[in-house]
Amino acid sequence: MISSCPEPLWRGVAVALVTLFDPDGVRVDVAATAAHAARLVESGVRAVLVAGSTGEPDTLTDTERATLVAAVKGACAGVPVIAGTSGPWTGTAVARTEAAVKAGADAVLVAPPGRCLDVAAYYSAVAAAAGPAPVLAYHFPGVAGGEVPVEALAGLPVAGLKDSTGNAERLLAELDAWDGWTYVGAPVLTGYAGALGAAGAILAVANAVPEDCLAAWDGDPTAQRRLFGAHQAARSRFPYGLKELVAQRFGTSTTARMG
């Protein structure tokens, strides 16, 4: 592993931020999205991921992505802002990474392409584009690009990994395979990951129930069980189920571009 940061950029719970749109879905509501991020940070969330798979990234233009990163960064002083910069091929990921870092991202989260034949070369190009900003690999095959093999982790030029599969056995293998920052993306593993010594969790349900996410990470079994219900609601008709859950709590827009 190649990392300029020996300690994790953050520990604990981060939010995989929703992207909020105007009612017609034509325009990104940048101000509302940034205000929602700031509200979650005030609730105790330790970092914010912009334009990850929760944020409907395939529906965003590259300009919209960069604008969101800059706005959230401005609204969330004191916590890291991570930008999702995956792309279907190396050139797209490199361009998005450069733009995100220029917009103020503290790190980038990048999935490999679905048919990536050379994962190390792909991440080498992304890491060069990111400069001093740490790169986190993203493992959520079938949803966000292709696979990040466990056996490849130690040799990749990345500082961390987000694994959203919810596979407990794979999480153990990841923690055993390398010393990088391992983050889970599945809320069902929040407390388990915390007990095992993972760096943190990057959760979509933190948009709606940040307090339960934080409590589950700290080992509260009751909060962990409540997260299962939130998780089921959030993944129903994604992203509509999640946006409805967030709207019930905070009165935000339920408009989505996906679907």
Domains and CATH numbers, the chain: 12-250 (3.20.20.70)
Is 202 assigned a ligand-binding role in the annotation? Answer: yes
Active site positions, annotated:
138, 162
pTM of the predicted model, to two decimals? 0.96
| pLDDT for the residue numbered 214 | 98
| pLDDT for the residue numbered 4 | 45
Q: Are 189 and 171 in contact (CB under 8 A)?
A: yes
pLDDT digits (tens, 9 = 90+) for 182-207: 999 999 999 999 999 999 999 999 99
CA pseudo-torsion sign 88, 89, 93, 96: negative
Residues with pLDDT less than 70, the chain: 1-5
User: How far, in Å, CA of 88 to CA of 74, rounded?
Assistant: 29
pLDDT digits (tens, 9 = 90+) for 75-114: 999 999 999 999 999 999 999 999 999 999 999 999 999 8
| pLDDT for the residue numbered 96 | 98
| pLDDT for the residue numbered 203 | 98
Is 54 assigned a ligand-binding role in the annotation? Answer: yes
Helix intervals (H) in 83-181: 90-103, 119-130, 168-177
